[in-house]
Amino acid sequence: MTETPNNSELRRVDDVVWEIPMREGMRVPGRVYADDVLMESLQGDQSLDQVRNVAHLPGIQRYSLAMPDIHFGYGFPIGGVAAFAVDEGVVSPGGVGYDINCGVRLLATDLERSALEGSMKRMVDQLFRDVPSGVGAHGAIQTLSRREMAEVLEQGAGWAVRHGYGRPDDLERTEAHGALPGADPEAVSERAYARGDSQVGTLGSGNHFLEIQVVDQVFDPVAARAYGLFEGQVTVMIHCGSRGFGYQVCDDYLGIMSQAAQRYGIALPDRQLACAPVDSPEGRRYLAAMACAANYAWANRQMIMHLTEEALLRALSMAPRDLNLRLVYDVAHNIAKLEDHTVDGVVRRLCVHRKGATRAFGPGHPEVPEPYRAVGQPVLIPGDMGTASFVCRGSTRAMEQTFGSTCHGAGRVLSRAAALRRAKGRAIDRELAAGGITVRSQGRKTLAEEMPEAYKDVERVVAVMDRAGISPRVARLRPLGVVKG
Protein backbone atom coordinates (compact mmCIF):
# COMPACT_ATOMS: atom_id res chain seq x y z
CA MET A 1 0.00 0.00 0.00
CA THR A 2 1.16 3.52 -0.78
CA GLU A 3 0.56 6.81 0.94
CA THR A 4 -1.57 9.49 -0.65
CA PRO A 5 0.25 12.74 -1.32
CA ASN A 6 -2.32 14.74 0.71
CA ASN A 7 -2.79 12.74 3.87
CA SER A 8 0.02 10.56 5.18
CA GLU A 9 -2.37 8.65 7.45
CA LEU A 10 -4.55 7.30 4.65
CA ARG A 11 -3.20 4.23 2.85
CA ARG A 12 -4.34 3.20 -0.59
CA VAL A 13 -5.48 -0.43 -0.73
CA ASP A 14 -6.51 -0.51 -4.39
CA ASP A 15 -8.03 1.63 -7.12
CA VAL A 16 -11.02 2.80 -5.05
CA VAL A 17 -10.36 1.57 -1.50
CA TRP A 18 -8.43 3.48 1.18
CA GLU A 19 -7.58 2.44 4.71
CA ILE A 20 -7.38 4.49 7.90
CA PRO A 21 -4.85 2.57 10.03
CA MET A 22 -5.61 1.78 13.65
CA ARG A 23 -4.33 4.16 16.27
CA GLU A 24 -4.87 4.43 20.01
CA GLY A 25 -8.41 3.50 21.00
CA MET A 26 -9.47 2.14 17.60
CA ARG A 27 -10.54 -1.50 17.67
CA VAL A 28 -10.52 -1.91 13.87
CA PRO A 29 -9.17 0.08 10.89
CA GLY A 30 -11.34 2.37 8.79
CA ARG A 31 -12.12 1.67 5.16
CA VAL A 32 -13.18 4.37 2.70
CA TYR A 33 -14.48 3.76 -0.82
CA ALA A 34 -13.54 6.67 -3.11
CA ASP A 35 -11.70 7.53 -6.29
CA ASP A 36 -8.94 10.15 -6.38
CA VAL A 37 -11.32 13.06 -6.99
CA LEU A 38 -13.71 12.10 -4.18
CA MET A 39 -10.84 11.41 -1.80
CA GLU A 40 -9.27 14.77 -2.57
CA SER A 41 -12.57 16.45 -1.63
CA LEU A 42 -12.45 14.68 1.75
CA GLN A 43 -9.05 16.00 2.81
CA GLY A 44 -9.50 17.65 6.19
CA ASP A 45 -13.20 16.74 6.27
CA GLN A 46 -14.63 15.89 9.70
CA SER A 47 -16.42 12.85 8.31
CA LEU A 48 -13.10 10.96 8.22
CA ASP A 49 -12.69 11.70 11.94
CA GLN A 50 -16.14 10.21 12.43
CA VAL A 51 -15.04 7.02 10.65
CA ARG A 52 -12.17 6.82 13.15
CA ASN A 53 -14.48 7.50 16.09
CA VAL A 54 -16.90 4.71 15.14
CA ALA A 55 -13.95 2.31 15.11
CA HIS A 56 -13.62 2.84 18.90
CA LEU A 57 -16.99 1.28 19.73
CA PRO A 58 -17.14 -2.11 21.49
CA GLY A 59 -17.80 -5.20 19.41
CA ILE A 60 -17.23 -3.59 16.01
CA GLN A 61 -16.31 -6.14 13.35
CA ARG A 62 -13.58 -5.91 10.69
CA TYR A 63 -13.82 -2.22 9.67
CA SER A 64 -15.54 1.09 10.22
CA LEU A 65 -16.75 1.61 6.66
CA ALA A 66 -17.44 4.74 4.61
CA MET A 67 -19.15 4.78 1.23
CA PRO A 68 -18.16 7.30 -1.50
CA ASP A 69 -21.14 9.55 -0.65
CA ILE A 70 -19.76 10.10 2.87
CA HIS A 71 -20.35 13.45 4.54
CA PHE A 72 -20.53 14.80 8.08
CA GLY A 73 -23.47 13.61 10.19
CA TYR A 74 -24.61 13.21 13.79
CA GLY A 75 -22.20 10.77 15.45
CA PHE A 76 -21.67 8.41 12.53
CA PRO A 77 -20.89 9.95 9.14
CA ILE A 78 -23.69 9.84 6.60
CA GLY A 79 -22.54 7.12 4.24
CA GLY A 80 -21.24 5.08 7.18
CA VAL A 81 -21.60 1.33 7.76
CA ALA A 82 -20.59 -0.55 10.90
CA ALA A 83 -21.47 -4.03 12.15
CA PHE A 84 -21.36 -5.02 15.82
CA ALA A 85 -21.46 -8.51 17.30
CA VAL A 86 -24.77 -8.97 19.11
CA ASP A 87 -23.11 -10.76 22.04
CA GLU A 88 -20.46 -8.11 22.73
CA GLY A 89 -21.27 -5.05 20.66
CA VAL A 90 -23.45 -1.95 20.84
CA VAL A 91 -26.32 -0.25 19.07
CA SER A 92 -26.20 3.53 18.56
CA PRO A 93 -29.00 5.87 17.43
CA GLY A 94 -26.31 8.01 15.81
CA GLY A 95 -25.56 5.04 13.55
CA VAL A 96 -29.10 5.16 12.17
CA GLY A 97 -29.87 8.87 12.23
CA TYR A 98 -32.93 10.99 12.79
CA ASP A 99 -34.85 10.01 9.64
CA ILE A 100 -35.18 6.33 10.50
CA ASN A 101 -35.74 4.25 7.34
CA CYS A 102 -35.46 7.11 4.97
CA GLY A 103 -35.50 4.99 1.83
CA VAL A 104 -36.39 4.61 -1.81
CA ARG A 105 -39.19 2.82 -3.66
CA LEU A 106 -38.96 2.29 -7.43
CA LEU A 107 -42.12 1.77 -9.50
CA ALA A 108 -42.18 0.55 -13.09
CA THR A 109 -44.88 1.11 -15.74
CA ASP A 110 -45.63 -0.29 -19.19
CA LEU A 111 -45.39 3.22 -20.67
CA GLU A 112 -42.61 4.48 -22.90
CA ARG A 113 -41.36 8.08 -22.84
CA SER A 114 -43.09 8.91 -26.15
CA ALA A 115 -46.50 8.16 -24.57
CA LEU A 116 -46.09 11.13 -22.19
CA GLU A 117 -45.59 13.80 -24.86
CA GLY A 118 -47.38 16.95 -23.70
CA SER A 119 -48.55 15.33 -20.43
CA MET A 120 -45.69 15.98 -18.01
CA LYS A 121 -46.96 19.23 -16.49
CA ARG A 122 -50.41 17.72 -15.99
CA MET A 123 -48.91 14.64 -14.31
CA VAL A 124 -46.64 16.62 -12.00
CA ASP A 125 -49.44 19.00 -11.04
CA GLN A 126 -51.74 16.07 -10.23
CA LEU A 127 -49.07 14.38 -8.10
CA PHE A 128 -48.45 17.67 -6.30
CA ARG A 129 -52.17 17.96 -5.50
CA ASP A 130 -52.74 14.33 -4.49
CA VAL A 131 -49.56 13.47 -2.54
CA PRO A 132 -49.20 15.72 0.54
CA SER A 133 -45.72 17.22 0.80
CA GLY A 134 -43.79 19.81 2.76
CA VAL A 135 -42.94 20.41 6.42
CA GLY A 136 -45.84 19.42 8.68
CA ALA A 137 -47.92 18.01 5.81
CA HIS A 138 -50.91 15.93 6.87
CA GLY A 139 -51.72 12.60 5.25
CA ALA A 140 -54.38 11.76 2.73
CA ILE A 141 -56.12 9.59 5.33
CA GLN A 142 -57.73 10.75 8.57
CA THR A 143 -55.74 11.04 11.78
CA LEU A 144 -55.10 7.54 13.12
CA SER A 145 -56.33 6.40 16.51
CA ARG A 146 -53.86 5.08 19.07
CA ARG A 147 -54.89 1.50 18.19
CA GLU A 148 -54.48 2.14 14.45
CA MET A 149 -51.07 3.73 14.99
CA ALA A 150 -49.94 0.71 16.99
CA GLU A 151 -51.02 -1.52 14.11
CA VAL A 152 -49.01 0.58 11.63
CA LEU A 153 -45.95 0.40 13.89
CA GLU A 154 -46.16 -3.38 14.16
CA GLN A 155 -47.29 -4.26 10.62
CA GLY A 156 -45.57 -1.63 8.47
CA ALA A 157 -46.37 -1.81 4.76
CA GLY A 158 -48.56 -4.82 5.47
CA TRP A 159 -50.98 -2.53 7.32
CA ALA A 160 -51.40 -0.38 4.23
CA VAL A 161 -51.86 -3.40 1.95
CA ARG A 162 -54.46 -4.92 4.28
CA HIS A 163 -56.40 -1.64 4.15
CA GLY A 164 -56.50 -1.63 0.36
CA TYR A 165 -53.44 0.53 -0.35
CA GLY A 166 -51.51 -1.89 -2.55
CA ARG A 167 -51.21 -5.57 -3.32
CA PRO A 168 -49.78 -8.51 -1.32
CA ASP A 169 -46.93 -9.02 -3.79
CA ASP A 170 -45.72 -5.48 -2.96
CA LEU A 171 -44.52 -6.92 0.36
CA GLU A 172 -42.44 -9.57 -1.41
CA ARG A 173 -40.56 -6.78 -3.19
CA THR A 174 -39.87 -4.71 -0.09
CA GLU A 175 -36.81 -5.10 2.12
CA ALA A 176 -37.77 -7.11 5.23
CA HIS A 177 -41.22 -7.58 3.62
CA GLY A 178 -41.97 -4.03 4.77
CA ALA A 179 -41.87 -4.74 8.51
CA LEU A 180 -39.00 -5.32 10.92
CA PRO A 181 -39.76 -7.94 13.57
CA GLY A 182 -39.62 -6.99 17.24
CA ALA A 183 -41.40 -3.64 16.92
CA ASP A 184 -42.96 -2.66 20.25
CA PRO A 185 -45.41 0.29 20.24
CA GLU A 186 -44.97 0.54 24.02
CA ALA A 187 -41.33 1.55 23.47
CA VAL A 188 -42.49 4.74 21.71
CA SER A 189 -43.20 8.04 23.47
CA GLU A 190 -46.52 9.88 23.47
CA ARG A 191 -44.78 12.77 21.72
CA ALA A 192 -43.79 10.45 18.84
CA TYR A 193 -47.37 9.19 18.57
CA ALA A 194 -48.65 12.76 18.40
CA ARG A 195 -46.19 13.67 15.64
CA GLY A 196 -46.96 10.60 13.54
CA ASP A 197 -50.70 10.01 13.73
CA SER A 198 -51.55 12.38 10.86
CA GLN A 199 -48.49 12.02 8.59
CA VAL A 200 -48.88 8.54 7.07
CA GLY A 201 -48.91 9.03 3.31
CA THR A 202 -46.88 12.27 3.22
CA LEU A 203 -43.70 13.03 1.32
CA GLY A 204 -42.12 15.53 3.70
CA SER A 205 -39.47 18.04 2.68
CA GLY A 206 -35.70 18.41 2.33
CA ASN A 207 -34.09 15.93 -0.04
CA HIS A 208 -37.25 13.80 -0.26
CA PHE A 209 -38.96 13.66 -3.64
CA LEU A 210 -41.48 11.98 -5.90
CA GLU A 211 -40.05 11.73 -9.38
CA ILE A 212 -41.21 10.61 -12.82
CA GLN A 213 -38.23 9.18 -14.68
CA VAL A 214 -37.21 7.43 -17.87
CA VAL A 215 -34.73 4.55 -18.19
CA ASP A 216 -32.18 6.16 -20.48
CA GLN A 217 -29.38 3.57 -20.32
CA VAL A 218 -29.11 -0.11 -19.44
CA PHE A 219 -25.68 -1.37 -18.35
CA ASP A 220 -26.61 -4.96 -17.41
CA PRO A 221 -29.32 -6.37 -19.71
CA VAL A 222 -29.67 -9.62 -17.75
CA ALA A 223 -30.30 -7.91 -14.42
CA ALA A 224 -32.48 -5.25 -16.04
CA ARG A 225 -34.65 -7.96 -17.57
CA ALA A 226 -34.97 -9.67 -14.19
CA TYR A 227 -36.05 -6.34 -12.63
CA GLY A 228 -38.51 -5.65 -15.48
CA LEU A 229 -36.64 -2.58 -16.78
CA PHE A 230 -35.97 -1.54 -20.40
CA GLU A 231 -34.60 1.54 -22.19
CA GLY A 232 -37.22 4.22 -22.81
CA GLN A 233 -39.47 2.94 -20.01
CA VAL A 234 -41.26 5.36 -17.68
CA THR A 235 -40.59 4.75 -13.98
CA VAL A 236 -41.46 6.53 -10.73
CA MET A 237 -39.20 6.90 -7.70
CA ILE A 238 -40.37 7.72 -4.16
CA HIS A 239 -37.74 8.97 -1.70
CA CYS A 240 -38.95 9.62 1.85
CA GLY A 241 -38.86 8.26 5.41
CA SER A 242 -40.56 8.16 8.80
CA ARG A 243 -41.28 11.90 9.01
CA GLY A 244 -41.63 13.55 12.42
CA PHE A 245 -42.35 10.20 14.04
CA GLY A 246 -38.89 8.79 13.29
CA TYR A 247 -37.20 12.05 14.25
CA GLN A 248 -38.89 11.94 17.65
CA VAL A 249 -37.94 8.30 18.26
CA CYS A 250 -34.29 9.14 17.62
CA ASP A 251 -34.43 12.24 19.79
CA ASP A 252 -36.07 10.36 22.67
CA TYR A 253 -33.40 7.66 22.74
CA LEU A 254 -30.28 9.79 22.40
CA GLY A 255 -30.62 10.92 26.02
CA ILE A 256 -31.41 7.40 27.20
CA MET A 257 -28.37 6.01 25.39
CA SER A 258 -26.08 8.72 26.72
CA GLN A 259 -26.91 7.66 30.28
CA ALA A 260 -26.63 3.99 29.32
CA ALA A 261 -23.13 4.45 27.90
CA GLN A 262 -21.99 5.89 31.22
CA ARG A 263 -23.74 3.15 33.18
CA TYR A 264 -22.04 0.39 31.15
CA GLY A 265 -18.65 2.10 31.25
CA ILE A 266 -18.41 2.63 27.50
CA ALA A 267 -15.73 5.21 26.65
CA LEU A 268 -16.93 7.42 23.81
CA PRO A 269 -14.59 9.51 21.63
CA ASP A 270 -17.67 11.62 20.75
CA ARG A 271 -20.77 11.93 22.94
CA GLN A 272 -22.90 11.80 19.78
CA LEU A 273 -21.97 8.12 19.58
CA ALA A 274 -24.14 7.42 22.64
CA CYS A 275 -24.89 3.71 22.69
CA ALA A 276 -25.74 0.67 24.76
CA PRO A 277 -24.96 -3.04 24.46
CA VAL A 278 -27.21 -4.62 21.84
CA ASP A 279 -28.49 -7.17 24.33
CA SER A 280 -29.05 -4.72 27.20
CA PRO A 281 -32.53 -3.50 28.23
CA GLU A 282 -31.76 -0.08 26.71
CA GLY A 283 -30.40 -1.61 23.50
CA ARG A 284 -33.37 -3.92 23.06
CA ARG A 285 -35.83 -1.12 23.76
CA TYR A 286 -34.19 1.22 21.24
CA LEU A 287 -34.26 -1.50 18.58
CA ALA A 288 -37.95 -2.09 19.32
CA ALA A 289 -38.74 1.62 18.96
CA MET A 290 -36.51 1.98 15.88
CA ALA A 291 -38.36 -0.96 14.29
CA CYS A 292 -41.62 0.92 14.89
CA ALA A 293 -40.22 3.95 13.02
CA ALA A 294 -38.87 1.76 10.21
CA ASN A 295 -42.27 0.12 9.83
CA TYR A 296 -43.97 3.53 9.85
CA ALA A 297 -41.71 4.57 6.95
CA TRP A 298 -42.56 1.44 4.94
CA ALA A 299 -46.28 2.06 5.50
CA ASN A 300 -45.72 5.67 4.42
CA ARG A 301 -44.05 4.72 1.13
CA GLN A 302 -46.70 2.07 0.47
CA MET A 303 -49.41 4.71 0.93
CA ILE A 304 -47.59 7.17 -1.34
CA MET A 305 -47.32 4.48 -4.03
CA HIS A 306 -51.11 4.04 -3.90
CA LEU A 307 -51.69 7.81 -4.09
CA THR A 308 -49.22 8.04 -6.97
CA GLU A 309 -51.04 5.39 -8.99
CA GLU A 310 -54.39 7.11 -8.51
CA ALA A 311 -52.92 10.49 -9.47
CA LEU A 312 -51.28 9.19 -12.66
CA LEU A 313 -54.43 7.35 -13.74
CA ARG A 314 -56.38 10.57 -13.22
CA ALA A 315 -53.85 12.75 -15.07
CA LEU A 316 -53.53 10.37 -18.02
CA SER A 317 -57.21 9.28 -18.15
CA MET A 318 -55.89 5.74 -18.33
CA ALA A 319 -57.06 2.32 -17.12
CA PRO A 320 -54.90 0.57 -14.47
CA ARG A 321 -54.08 -2.29 -16.85
CA ASP A 322 -52.64 0.16 -19.39
CA LEU A 323 -50.44 1.95 -16.86
CA ASN A 324 -49.57 -1.32 -15.07
CA LEU A 325 -47.80 0.47 -12.21
CA ARG A 326 -45.89 -2.08 -10.14
CA LEU A 327 -43.25 -2.16 -7.45
CA VAL A 328 -39.72 -3.07 -8.51
CA TYR A 329 -38.22 -2.81 -5.00
CA ASP A 330 -38.09 -0.76 -1.80
CA VAL A 331 -34.90 -0.32 0.23
CA ALA A 332 -34.03 1.39 3.52
CA HIS A 333 -31.15 3.88 3.77
CA ASN A 334 -31.08 4.58 7.55
CA ILE A 335 -31.48 1.50 9.71
CA ALA A 336 -29.88 -0.96 12.15
CA LYS A 337 -30.71 -4.61 11.46
CA LEU A 338 -29.86 -7.95 13.02
CA GLU A 339 -28.31 -10.06 10.26
CA ASP A 340 -26.07 -13.11 9.89
CA HIS A 341 -22.71 -12.48 8.20
CA THR A 342 -19.50 -14.47 7.84
CA VAL A 343 -16.60 -12.92 9.78
CA ASP A 344 -13.21 -14.65 9.58
CA GLY A 345 -14.88 -17.81 8.34
CA VAL A 346 -17.48 -17.93 11.10
CA VAL A 347 -21.15 -16.99 10.72
CA ARG A 348 -22.01 -14.42 13.39
CA ARG A 349 -25.15 -12.57 14.38
CA LEU A 350 -24.47 -8.86 13.86
CA CYS A 351 -26.26 -5.57 14.37
CA VAL A 352 -25.50 -3.84 11.06
CA HIS A 353 -25.82 -0.04 11.12
CA ARG A 354 -26.43 1.55 7.72
CA LYS A 355 -26.61 5.33 7.92
CA GLY A 356 -26.98 6.79 4.46
CA ALA A 357 -26.20 3.36 3.05
CA THR A 358 -28.15 0.71 1.17
CA ARG A 359 -28.44 -3.01 1.74
CA ALA A 360 -26.90 -4.83 -1.26
CA PHE A 361 -27.39 -8.57 -0.74
CA GLY A 362 -25.86 -10.72 -3.46
CA PRO A 363 -27.11 -13.51 -5.73
CA GLY A 364 -28.55 -16.56 -3.99
CA HIS A 365 -29.28 -14.87 -0.67
CA PRO A 366 -32.61 -16.11 0.73
CA GLU A 367 -33.75 -12.57 1.58
CA VAL A 368 -33.56 -11.53 -2.08
CA PRO A 369 -36.99 -12.01 -3.73
CA GLU A 370 -37.17 -15.08 -5.94
CA PRO A 371 -37.52 -13.19 -9.25
CA TYR A 372 -34.24 -11.37 -8.50
CA ARG A 373 -32.30 -14.02 -6.62
CA ALA A 374 -30.16 -15.15 -9.54
CA VAL A 375 -28.79 -11.62 -10.14
CA GLY A 376 -28.88 -10.12 -6.64
CA GLN A 377 -30.99 -7.58 -4.77
CA PRO A 378 -32.00 -4.38 -6.59
CA VAL A 379 -30.06 -1.42 -5.15
CA LEU A 380 -31.74 1.97 -5.58
CA ILE A 381 -29.54 5.08 -5.56
CA PRO A 382 -31.41 8.37 -6.04
CA GLY A 383 -30.06 11.52 -7.62
CA ASP A 384 -31.55 14.91 -6.83
CA MET A 385 -33.92 16.74 -9.21
CA GLY A 386 -31.56 17.55 -12.06
CA THR A 387 -29.33 14.48 -11.76
CA ALA A 388 -29.81 10.84 -12.70
CA SER A 389 -30.75 8.04 -10.33
CA PHE A 390 -29.39 4.52 -10.62
CA VAL A 391 -30.50 0.95 -10.23
CA CYS A 392 -27.61 -1.29 -9.24
CA ARG A 393 -27.48 -4.84 -7.91
CA GLY A 394 -26.08 -6.49 -4.81
CA SER A 395 -23.08 -8.76 -5.17
CA THR A 396 -21.11 -11.55 -3.55
CA ARG A 397 -18.28 -9.05 -3.10
CA ALA A 398 -20.57 -6.82 -1.03
CA MET A 399 -21.35 -9.77 1.24
CA GLU A 400 -17.62 -10.39 1.66
CA GLN A 401 -16.40 -6.81 2.12
CA THR A 402 -19.16 -4.46 3.31
CA PHE A 403 -21.68 -6.62 5.20
CA GLY A 404 -23.92 -6.51 2.14
CA SER A 405 -23.94 -2.69 1.95
CA THR A 406 -23.27 0.08 -0.56
CA CYS A 407 -23.77 3.82 -1.12
CA HIS A 408 -27.20 5.49 -0.96
CA GLY A 409 -26.94 8.63 -3.09
CA ALA A 410 -24.68 11.49 -4.04
CA GLY A 411 -23.92 12.96 -0.61
CA ARG A 412 -23.98 16.68 0.14
CA VAL A 413 -21.03 18.95 -0.56
CA LEU A 414 -22.83 22.21 0.34
CA SER A 415 -24.71 22.84 3.56
CA ARG A 416 -28.26 24.06 3.09
CA ALA A 417 -27.18 27.56 4.11
CA ALA A 418 -24.34 27.50 1.57
CA ALA A 419 -26.72 26.25 -1.12
CA LEU A 420 -29.10 29.13 -0.39
CA ARG A 421 -26.23 31.60 -0.78
CA ARG A 422 -25.17 29.95 -4.05
CA ALA A 423 -28.74 30.09 -5.40
CA LYS A 424 -29.32 33.77 -4.58
CA GLY A 425 -30.75 35.58 -7.57
CA ARG A 426 -31.35 32.35 -9.48
CA ALA A 427 -34.60 30.56 -10.39
CA ILE A 428 -33.80 26.88 -9.91
CA ASP A 429 -37.19 25.79 -11.29
CA ARG A 430 -36.54 27.65 -14.55
CA GLU A 431 -33.01 26.21 -14.77
CA LEU A 432 -34.45 22.71 -14.41
CA ALA A 433 -37.18 23.45 -16.96
CA ALA A 434 -34.49 24.50 -19.43
CA GLY A 435 -33.05 21.03 -18.98
CA GLY A 436 -36.37 19.38 -19.71
CA ILE A 437 -37.39 18.74 -16.08
CA THR A 438 -40.78 19.87 -14.77
CA VAL A 439 -40.72 20.60 -11.03
CA ARG A 440 -43.30 21.54 -8.39
CA SER A 441 -42.40 22.47 -4.83
CA GLN A 442 -44.04 23.98 -1.76
CA GLY A 443 -41.47 26.78 -1.90
CA ARG A 444 -38.38 28.13 -3.65
CA LYS A 445 -36.28 27.67 -0.53
CA THR A 446 -36.40 23.87 -0.81
CA LEU A 447 -35.42 24.01 -4.48
CA ALA A 448 -32.44 26.18 -3.64
CA GLU A 449 -31.34 24.00 -0.72
CA GLU A 450 -31.60 20.85 -2.84
CA MET A 451 -30.23 22.14 -6.16
CA PRO A 452 -28.06 19.58 -7.99
CA GLU A 453 -24.73 21.32 -7.29
CA ALA A 454 -25.34 20.96 -3.53
CA TYR A 455 -24.42 17.30 -4.00
CA LYS A 456 -21.49 15.23 -5.18
CA ASP A 457 -21.50 13.81 -8.69
CA VAL A 458 -23.80 10.78 -8.31
CA GLU A 459 -22.38 9.24 -11.50
CA ARG A 460 -18.91 9.25 -9.91
CA VAL A 461 -20.20 7.87 -6.61
CA VAL A 462 -22.00 5.00 -8.32
CA ALA A 463 -19.01 4.31 -10.58
CA VAL A 464 -16.77 3.83 -7.52
CA MET A 465 -18.97 1.06 -6.16
CA ASP A 466 -19.28 -0.45 -9.62
CA ARG A 467 -15.49 -0.52 -9.99
CA ALA A 468 -15.17 -2.02 -6.53
CA GLY A 469 -17.56 -4.78 -7.55
CA ILE A 470 -19.81 -3.99 -4.59
CA SER A 471 -22.92 -2.81 -6.47
CA PRO A 472 -22.55 -3.11 -10.27
CA ARG A 473 -24.67 -0.72 -12.31
CA VAL A 474 -27.83 -2.04 -13.95
CA ALA A 475 -29.63 1.04 -15.32
CA ARG A 476 -29.63 4.85 -15.23
CA LEU A 477 -32.88 6.76 -14.72
CA ARG A 478 -33.19 10.35 -15.97
CA PRO A 479 -35.66 12.72 -14.25
CA LEU A 480 -38.60 14.11 -16.23
CA GLY A 481 -40.86 15.52 -13.52
CA VAL A 482 -40.25 16.16 -9.83
CA VAL A 483 -42.41 16.90 -6.79
CA LYS A 484 -40.55 18.36 -3.79
CA GLY A 485 -41.78 19.34 -0.35
How confident is residue 7, by pLDDT bands cut at 50, 70 and 90? low
Mean pLDDT of 267-287: 98
Residue ranges of domains in the chain: 2-484
pLDDT of 140 over the 70 cut = no
What pLDDT, on a 0 to 100 scale, did the predictor assign at position 455?
Answer: 81
Q: What is the pLDDT of residues 392-435, one digit of tens each?
A: 999 999 999 999 999 999 877 778 888 888 888 888 888 888 88
Q: What is the pLDDT of residues 238-263, one digit of tens each?
A: 999 999 999 999 999 999 999 999 99
Q: Is domain 2-484 classified as CATH 3.40.50.620?
A: no
Mean pLDDT of 57-66: 98
**How open is the CA angle 283-357-72, to the nearest 5 degrees?**
85
Specify the higher pLDDT residue, 114 or 444: 114
Q: Could you tell me whether strands 473-484 and 438-441 are parallel, antiparallel, or unpaired per DSSP bridges?
A: parallel
* Active-site choice (56, 71, 306, 408): 408
- Could you please report the per-residue DSSP string of 273-286? G--EETTSHHHHHH
- What is the residue-averaged pLDDT of the chain? 94
How confident is residue 350, by pLDDT bands cut at 50, 70 and 90? very high
What pLDDT, on a 0 to 100 scale, did the predictor assign at position 5?
Answer: 34
Specify the higher pLDDT residue, 159 or 426: 159
Q: Look at residue 337 and give its three-state secondary structure.
A: strand
177 carries an active-site annotation: no
pLDDT of 48 over the 60 cut = yes
